[in-house]
A and B are shown apart, each in its own frame.
Chain A
């Protein structure tokens, strides 16, 4: 490992930006705020590029011990940063996409009163995300982990005067607490058994342990607990419920935090812990199953959503499921590869959706869009690229990453054809709902124009960012917003090409040593048979994507009256899907209501009011009653006092006399 003193600058720079804007922004001009936010974020990006230059697949990891933190006996945790191939990929994704979204936000949030607050939060998010990515031990990672949760909470509830936004922020925060609980227990187990939280030490200790094939042991427990944490942060079953609600936040936030970077932290963490998962096949299996189920489950919900951002939110959950599927079958590099391409195209999808929402005055209901390709050509073009990318059309980015995952799900020793099959079905559904969104938004006639004033400002749907100007005609967004779209569109096209010939996998190989070597050995063994199968599987998934496109085309462009009839024919099933399988209601009945009722009756009325308050109040009442009676002795009558004194004296004398006699 090589020490690199520049490492700590990467996270610190956005923190400085956040501090300046957060403390001074209220009274600064918007230009100054913009300059600060962009310069500090841009400097971090430049720093990341500087670090990336001259870092190859064979480079030893960089590290930097910034400061001592906890030193207790043999146990020590320091503020130290670490950069290897895996964190480098994350670093570039976070700073790159993050910087683009900063630029986009300038256009999107310019009119908002909380502009300085928004920029400060964005920079704060960058700080925590970079801390998470660059951490050298689990505890520093946990700081970043909690910090991005905080930033996410602040930004989801950015329009906090709106009840739904405040509630969504709280929901995200509380659901993440459940995941963090698992993460923390995993850390405690590591401290207890390995005496360290440093990645290098922990993984070295793990590698001395045998693989837990037969049953579940320590590593399986740690792996599963880490997965609980990852499921919370990365919105997997059963903790995915917060992500769709998180769409209450401004759209750049949805793009940055809830699509491109923060929600992928769980995938990063699981990949980072690959040494642990490698030796805990059961935990791997659970990860794969959760990922696969989430991918399918969320995709089906995505079909029936009408809010453009909700569709994208479920799509994100579904794509994250793919990544976990990859991690679960041991193809960590494929998961990270998809993470990277997903950051490009999903960031792009959200930003383009934001551009659409911005252009038609805050409307998010796709049923009120349509025909927008005429009004906003650049948005249409970039959104099309993103849609074709996520559907998996070659040679766009997701084609490479998704096929890599599907192939690994099929061929890896931990994989199975079941994962592959569900993956392909999900790919078909993904293609269908994304093209549904595409056709509904950009084709046909504009369905909102009929009464542009009627649903103007007072009826803004969710993304109520109160623009000053009127919204008679849909209009294209300014170039400060379109620029990032174009760059991300280019990345969505070419981003997958780094994976050609397994170059991406080889780049990450040093990180996933143990897993990758096993995989490579397996691959060379089945190379001859594998190539043919791989091509076949690839054809099948491309066919699935095309079928999805055709189905969406048939239903939403050629026969637009059909979907309603199908929905009516399906009846209950359609209702269930449209209501997200009533999962929120189910959680409400199973967890939220019992918790609230239990807290109200037992904890609040019972313990708090019944025991704690009662103890204080009752002792006060008792004291008052006693004194109330006692005060009658103090009559103010001098002679009665004298009587008491004389009686007391007589009593004392009597006692002494009696003692004397005895």
Chain B
């Protein structure tokens, strides 16, 4: 059996990849995918713990996260399309109107 720590390290690596992608990338789509990466990193740790402790709670959480992620994807993509239509760019540094 693969030890728990392996899963957690992988989960951490995935999450950090997601964070770095979120911070570094300028394309909204990429940023969006980085968010998914972070979510899946967390999901991995959930199922790892669920398997470790023989508890269903972690798996239930994963389902919730997937459902929310799906909903988020739908809404997020819609917003991205709307942004693209009005501003004709996907560079987040140019989408900075929301300020004082």
Contacts and interface: CB of A to CB of B under 8 A. Distances in A.
28 contacts: A631-B99, A634-B99, A634-B100, A635-B96, A635-B99, A636-B96, A636-B97, A636-B98, A636-B99, A637-B92, A637-B93, A637-B96, A638-B31, A638-B92, A638-B93, A638-B95, A638-B96, A639-B22, A639-B23, A639-B26, A639-B92, A639-B93, A642-B22, A642-B23, A643-B23, A646-B19, A646-B22, A646-B23
Q: Is the interface on chain B under 10, 10 to 19, 20 to 34, or 35 or more residues?
A: 10 to 19
Contacts of A636: 96-99
B90 to A, nearest CB: 12
A643 B23 CA distance: 6
Contacts of B31: 638
B41 to A, nearest CB: 13
Interface in A635-654: 635-639, 642-643, 646
Contacts of A639: 22-23, 26, 92-93
Contacts of A635: 96, 99
Interface residues of A, number: 10
Given A636-B96, A636-B98, A639-B22, 7 more contacts: A631-B99, A631-B100, A634-B99, A638-B95, A639-B23, A639-B92, A646-B23
Nearest to A632: B100
Contacts of B22: 639, 642, 646
A637 B95 CA distance: 7
Closest 10 CB pairs of A and B: A636-B99, A636-B96, A638-B92, A631-B100, A634-B99, A637-B96, A636-B98, A642-B22, A642-B23, A646-B19
A230 to B, nearest CB: 67
B99 to A, nearest CB: 3
Interface string B19-31: 1001100100001
Contacts of B23: 639, 642-643, 646
Interface in B51-100: 92-93, 95-100
Interface in A511-560: none
A640 to B, nearest CB: 9
Contacts of A638: 31, 92-93, 95-96
B69 to A, nearest CB: 18
Nearest to B19: A646
Contacts of A643: 23
B59 to A, nearest CB: 25
B65 to A, nearest CB: 18
A642 B24 CA distance: 10
A549 B22 CA distance: 112
A321 B76 CA distance: 94
Nearest to A634: B99
A639 B92 CA distance: 8
B10 to A, nearest CB: 18
B35 to A, nearest CB: 10
A634 B98 CA distance: 8
Nearest to B22: A642
A638 to B, nearest CB: 4
A566 B73 CA distance: 110
Contacts of B98: 636
Contacts of A631: 99-100
Nearest to A631: B100
Nearest to A649: B19
Interface in B4-61: 19, 22-23, 26, 31
B32 to A, nearest CB: 12
Nearest to A630: B100
Contacts of B100: 631, 634
A634 B99 CA distance: 6
Contacts of B99: 631, 634-636
B36 to A, nearest CB: 15
A646 to B, nearest CB: 6
Contacts of A637: 92-93, 96
A631 B95 CA distance: 18
Interface in A610-662: 631, 634-639, 642-643, 646
A645 to B, nearest CB: 9
A637 B96 CA distance: 5
B33 to A, nearest CB: 14
A642 to B, nearest CB: 5
Contacts of A634: 99-100
Interface string A25-47: 00000000000000000000000
Nearest to B96: A636
A496 B99 CA distance: 91
A642 B38 CA distance: 13
Contacts of A646: 19, 22-23
A309 to B, nearest CB: 69
- With a 10 A CB-CB cut-off, give which of B23, B26, B31, B97 has the most chain A CB atoms: B23
A344 to B, nearest CB: 80
A19 to B, nearest CB: 59
A638 B83 CA distance: 14
B5 to A, nearest CB: 16
Nearest to B98: A636
Contacts of B96: 635-638
B21 to A, nearest CB: 10
B58 to A, nearest CB: 20
A634 B97 CA distance: 10
A646 B99 CA distance: 20
A660 to B, nearest CB: 15
A639 B19 CA distance: 11
A636 B93 CA distance: 9
A638 B95 CA distance: 8
A211 to B, nearest CB: 81
A646 B18 CA distance: 11
